[in-house]
């Protein structure tokens, strides 16, 4: 009956092909996202977020609480004796894509010395932002995808314009999809006061042992019991797993 019912047969073949195409596309999307996010971060870095939070956007860390952790011996220091320790905040805004659509953009407030803690960062254009200045650097992915995100352009956020002064690479990680600006000015602009979304620091010595000791301190000190510590790679792997699972389930529902 295939030759006799040509129209129905062609529709069946096309329908099955479309289902397979959609499912493969969504699985590829999930795997691509998992690889991009899971490769972010350094195994030597530890991140502090609020206990129970799955991501930085859901977390809150007070400056005073972070200062206690900053003094722990598990925090590595540079040649000058300064702790390799960052207070960071993130927000998500909607910006226009180059094709005319809309896309989410993560804005990260971080200190100027972020390059000393975040590994794999390389400036490919321009320069790094200066402390206290309304300047931003953007990842190469942002510069490619979003409209008017080149050197010299302005990025609006937190009630002010941020001049884009640099473009950076991060070994293809999720950080390349972010825009970074000075942490203190970021806190003021977005009215966050002394509340950050996370704390990132380089571990002294073996990171797993440092993580175990820091977690023991968090559990023992009443001032720190609202926090949890993860390795940076563990944190990003968790983010990748959550999103990949969501995409896979969505793909399965559409296929079904």
Query: Is 33's pLDDT higher than 80?
Result: no
Lowest mean pLDDT among 10-14, 38-42, 61-65, 250-254: 38-42
CA distance 197 to 59: 5
Q: How far apart (Å, rounded) are the C-alpha atoms in residues 211 and 225?
A: 15
With vertex at residue 123, the alpha carbon angle to CA 120 and CA 128, rounded to the nearest 5 degrees, is: 110
- pLDDT tens, 58-108? 999 999 999 999 999 999 999 999 999 999 999 999 998 887 888 899 999
The two tokens of residue 249 are: 């389930």
pLDDT band at 223 (very low <50, low <70, confident <90, very high): very high
What is the arithmetic mean of pLDDT over 207-231? 95
**Could you tell me the two tokens for 205?**
């010595």
pLDDT, residue 119, reads 86
Classify strands 85-96 and 135-139 as parallel, antiparallel or unpaired. unpaired
| pLDDT score, position 37 | 66
Give the pLDDT score at 70. 95
What pLDDT does 32 receive?
77
CA 42 vs CA 47, 121, 195: distances in Å: 10, 12, 24
Q: Residues 110, 199: contact at Cβ < 8 Å? A: no
Percent of the chain scored above 90 by pLDDT?
65
pLDDT of residue 39: 65
Mean predicted confidence (pLDDT) in 110-121: 92
Pairing between strand 160-169 and 135-139? parallel
């Amino acid at each position: 009956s295939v030759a006799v019912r040509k129209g129905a047969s062609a529709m069946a073949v096309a329908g099955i092909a479309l289902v397979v195409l959609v499912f493969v596309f969504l699985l590829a999307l999930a795997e691509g996202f998992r690889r991009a996010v899971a490769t972010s971060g350094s195994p030597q870095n530890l991140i502090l977020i609020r206990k129970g939070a799955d991501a930085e956007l859901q977390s809150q860390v007070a400056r005073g609480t972070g200062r206690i952790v900053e003094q722990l011996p598990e925090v590595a220091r540079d040649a000058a004796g300064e702790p390799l320790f960052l207070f960071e905040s993130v927000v998500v805004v909607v910006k226009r894509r180059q094709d005319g659509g809309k896309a989410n953009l993560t804005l990260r407030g971080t200190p100027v010395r972020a390059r000393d803690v975040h590994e794999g960062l390389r400036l490919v254009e321009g320069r790094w932002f200066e402390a206290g200045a309304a300047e931003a650097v953007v990842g190469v992915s942002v510069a490619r995808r979003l409209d008017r995100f080149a050197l010299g352009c302005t990025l609006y956020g937190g009630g002010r314009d941020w001049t884009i002064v640099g473009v950076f690479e991060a070994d293809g990680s999720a950080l390349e999809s972010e825009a970074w600006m000075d942490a203190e000015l970021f806190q003021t602009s977005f009215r966050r006061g002394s509340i950050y979304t996370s704390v990132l620091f380089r571990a002294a010595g073996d990171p797993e042992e440092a993580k175990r000791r820091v977690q023991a301190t968090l559990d023992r000190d009443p001032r720190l019991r609202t926090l949890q510590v993860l390795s940076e790679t563990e944190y990003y792997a968790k983010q990748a797993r959550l999103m990949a699972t969501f995409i896979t389930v969505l793909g399965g529902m559409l296929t079904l």
